Amino acid sequence: MRTPITETTVTTEPSRAGFSRRGLLTSAAAGGAGIVGATAGFALGRGPGSEATAAREGGQPRRDLDGANGPQTEPFYGTRQSGVETPAQAYAHFIAFTLKPGIKVAEAVRWLRLLTADAAALTQGQAPLADSESELAVDPARLTVTFGFGSNLVALAGKKHVPDWLKPLEAFSIDRLDKDRCRGDLLLQICGDDPLTLAHARRMLFKDSRSFAEVAWQRDGFRRAYGSTGEGKTQRNLFGQLDGTANPGPGSEDFARIIWGRGTETADPVFSARGAPPADLGAHLPSWMRGGTTLVLRDIAMNLDTWDHADRPAREFSVGRTMDTGAPLSGEDEFDVPDFTAVDERGLTKISKVAHIARARDGLGPEVQIHRRTFNYETGAGGDSGLLFASFQADIERQFLPIQRRLAEVDLLNEWTTPIGSTVWAIPPGATEDGFVGQELFEG
Amino acid sequence: MRKNITLALALPIAVTIGLAGCGQDDSKAAGSAQTEGDSSASADSSESRVDAEALSLEGAWVKAADDGMTAVFGELHNNTDHDINLVEAKYADAKMVELHETEGDGSGGMSMQEKEGGFTIPAGESLHFEPGGDHIMIMGLEKAIKPGEKISLDLVTADDETVEVTAVAKEYSGAQEDYAPGEAEGSSDDHAEHDDHGEHEDHEDSDHGDHGDH
């Protein structure tokens, strides 16, 4: 079912069976955020199931009553962990643990084996051993469990295995960090399209962690629910902005180079308008991380109250994109390449030099790209609100930091956003069927 | 059809998926342990080798415990075409192992007692050892069984065949032992269930607290 994507295919077949979200994504992936990406974005904007489309076609929006997403699974075993290149699910739980005193390699390996076995079962819709609520394990709904290692955990295998970047980021002037949200030796990123399944998975993983570790911090995030808008669309954050337009598409050459740090060796690869990223960004990673990547997780508080003071023109000026389509102020479509030299009738650049997108990409080379897999959070009306900014990249120094440094220096959005948590993680390769996540490190 | 599509997309990450997860892992582990156990422990005849492979404990796990009592669970499968009578289980690091059955007391409580004559597993069928049901009871632990650890035990049939099986230890707060009156003292299972419930709720509360603290 890999129907070539044309507008006709998508819009004339509003039934669910005719919707190839995979086809859409593959198309989007092929071009990243570039020229081909723009075409894909166009098609995506007209995905079936949206009320607008249904209305245009004279049909009615339909409720999905067949539970088709429950049995969907993402792979667990493999050379790479799921939950990185996996199209983002609707919900995420991030939970960080610190090792209990006295935990050595043997205990860490027992813990990782338990968590691996739990995750392997849960992600495939099966109850792990000793699951006292085994009925909650069915309907995985694309559950993924992604492991991140902090320096203390890696150091159990020997200090020489700890990469020099696996430490807190340098301090930024914009940071107002809560030190309790900057700790952790093991991170579990648990994502899925069903919140009940997720709660159960977290409970199982937590129960099998209690003997080895304490919870350092945790945070739950969300995006659009499965089925609301169709997969593959850029998510909106709580400011109402499209967030992640410039992401490399899953399956693309850009993604392979930017996140996994090596090219796919595809002949004639297609790149985004940013140009070809180097194919060796992952060359610096230690051998136990082959097949892995790095994660910078920033907990960014968003002040919805002061954001309310800003009217639409101020909001769009600050970001450099329109609020509705997410198009750069120099263009028409979300995936149009921003033109930072375009001027308006007064001779001013259409995109301000201090707008978010100008600071984040203008003048930066093709290696300075990341993949953000963001989730919103809000703890109730008037409560904490913000964004779990999960940034995956092969090389933090060459990819993440140049962007972060510039944004910390000047970015109009900083007026409403405040980093309050920050952690750095090594994402090890996936587990083999008889092994466990981290085996290359502890038994390699 | 959607499933195929899913796999197609996941190409860069796609590899074979072990659908059975840890259950299958354990059956494999048990399988190899049986073979080992067979060659070292039995050694009498080729017939015992066949029988040894005839029983397997799938999804085997043991409740982690520092001392005292614990229990082993899993699905004991009779892979042969004749009935097998399991009469005994042995574990090196405990004073005693018994095969237990559980009976409801009609009010949610359970009482457990030794199964006289052991369990008969009909040809090709399985016996489920599970919390609140039949189980292999280990008493007088001489060494802690820690979470994630793998233990092995020997299952002995009425024909005096021995099968070695392995079980992985899981932290588990259910499966609290309670004996039929007159057999031993123990806390009521009723209580155990309530305790478990309370703990769950506490956890949920602390979650919220954590989120609210900024």
- Same domain? A158 vs A20: no
Q: Is A69 part of any domain?
A: no
Tell me whether residues B13 and A178 touch, CB distance under 8 A: no
- Same domain? A275 vs A398: yes
Q: What is the pLDDT of residue A104?
A: 96
Q: Is A193 part of any domain?
A: yes
- Same domain? A299 vs A431: yes
Q: What is the pLDDT of residue A282?
A: 97
Q: Does residue A193 have an active-site annotation?
A: no
- Same domain? A243 vs A119: yes
Contacts with A152 (C-beta within 8 Å, 6 or more apart), sequence order = A98, A99, A185
> What is the C-alpha to C-alpha distance for residues A53 and A40, in angstroms, rounded to an integer?
16
Tell me whether residues B6 and A72 touch, CB distance under 8 A: yes
Find, in chain A, the residue whose alpha carbon is nearest to that of B72: A130
Q: Is A413 part of any domain?
A: yes
Tell me whether residues B17 and A420 touch, CB distance under 8 A: no
Minimal CA separation from A59 to chain B, in Å: 23
Q: Is A299 part of any domain?
A: yes
The tens digit of pLDDT for each residue in B49-98 reads: 444 468 999 999 999 999 999 999 999 999 999 999 999 999 999 999 99
Find, in chain B, the residue whose alpha carbon is nearest to that of A128: B22
- Kindly list the residues from chain B whose CB atom is less than 8 angstroms away from the CB atom of residue A84: 13
Q: Please answer whether residues B152 and B57 qualify as being in contact, where contact means their C-beta atoms are separated by less than 8 angstroms.
A: no
Number of domains composing chain A:
2
B40 CB neighbour count, 10 Å cutoff: 9
Using alpha carbons, list the distances in angstroms from residue A346 to A314, A343, A350.
18, 8, 10
- Same domain? A14 vs A152: no
Q: Which amino acid is at B136?
A: I
Q: What is the pLDDT of residue B47?
A: 41
User: Which of B10, B73, B148 lies nearest to residue A110, judging by beta carbons?
Assistant: B148
Q: Is A64 part of any domain?
A: no
Q: Which residues of B86-124 are buried (b: 16+ CB within 10 A; e: fewer)?
A: bbbbebeebeebbbbebeeeeeeebbbbebeebbebeee
Minimal CA separation from B170 to chain A, in Å: 7
Tell me whether residues B16 and A250 touch, CB distance under 8 A: no
Q: What is the pLDDT of residue A59?
A: 66
Q: Of A243, A299, A395, A411, which residue is the catalytic one?
A: A243
Q: Is A74 part of any domain?
A: no
- Same domain? A51 vs A125: no
Topology, domain B21-183: Immunoglobulin-like (2.60.40)
Find, in chain B, the residue whose alpha carbon is nearest to that of A118: B22
Tell me whether residues B9 and A218 touch, CB distance under 8 A: no
- Kindly list the residues from chain B whose CB atom is less than 8 angstroms away from the CB atom of residue A379: 211-212
- Same domain? A344 vs A284: yes
Minimal CA separation from B3 to chain A, in Å: 7
Q: Is A71 part of any domain?
A: no
> What is the C-alpha to C-alpha distance for residues A230 and A47, in angstroms, rounded to an integer?
7
Q: What is the pLDDT of residue B195?
A: 39
Tell me whether residues B8 and A21 touch, CB distance under 8 A: no
Q: Which chain A residues in 46-85 lie under 8 Å from chain B, judged by CB atoms?
A: 68, 71-82, 84-85
> What is the C-alpha to C-alpha distance for residues B102 and A259, in angstroms, rounded to an integer?
54
* Nearest partner of B153 among B70, B68, B92, judged by Cα: B92
pLDDT tops 80 at residue B1? no
Q: Please answer whether residues B66 and B114 qualify as being in contact, where contact means their C-beta atoms are separated by less than 8 angstroms.
A: no
Question: Could you tell me if A19 lies within 8 Å of chain B, comparing CB atoms?
Answer: no
Q: Is A198 part of any domain?
A: yes
Structural domain of A191: 91-443
Q: Where are the domains of chain B?
A: 21-183
pLDDT tops 50 at residue B193? no
- Same domain? A148 vs A51: no
Question: Could you tell me if A206 lies within 8 Å of chain B, comparing CB atoms?
Answer: yes
Tell me whether residues A132 and B214 touch, CB distance under 8 A: no
- Kindly list the residues from chain A whose CB atom is less than 8 angstroms away from the CB atom of residue B18: 76-77, 120, 124, 433
User: Which of B13, B21, B64 lies nearest to residue A120, judging by beta carbons?
Assistant: B21
Rg (CA), chain B: 20
pLDDT tops 90 at residue B180? no
- Same domain? A146 vs A281: yes
- Same domain? A202 vs A326: yes
Tell me which of B160 and B49 has the higher pLDDT.
Answer: B160
- Kindly list the residues from chain A whose CB atom is less than 8 angstroms away from the CB atom of residue B1: 1, 17
Q: Which chain A residues in 363-402 lie under 8 Å from chain B, judged by CB atoms?
A: 379, 383-384
Please give the ipTM for the structure prediction.
0.81
Contacts with B24 (C-beta within 8 Å, 6 or more apart), sequence order = B18, B58
Using alpha carbons, list the distances in angstroms from residue B197 to A133, A169, A211, A229.
12, 41, 19, 38
- Same domain? A232 vs A331: yes
Confidence of residue B103 (pLDDT cuts 50, 70, 90): confident
Q: What is the pLDDT of residue B21?
A: 35
Tell me whether residues A178 and B63 touch, CB distance under 8 A: no
Tell me whether residues B21 and A121 touch, CB distance under 8 A: yes
Length of chain B: 214
Full-prediction pTM beyond 0.90?
A: no
User: Averaged in consecutive runs of 10 residues, what is the pLDDT profile of chain A (444 residues)?
Assistant: 36 35 38 35 34 53 83 97 97 98 97 98 98 96 98 98 98 97 98 98 98 98 91 91 93 96 88 93 97 98 97 96 96 95 95 95 94 97 96 98 95 96 98 97 92
Q: What is the pLDDT of residue B111?
A: 78
- Same domain? A210 vs A333: yes
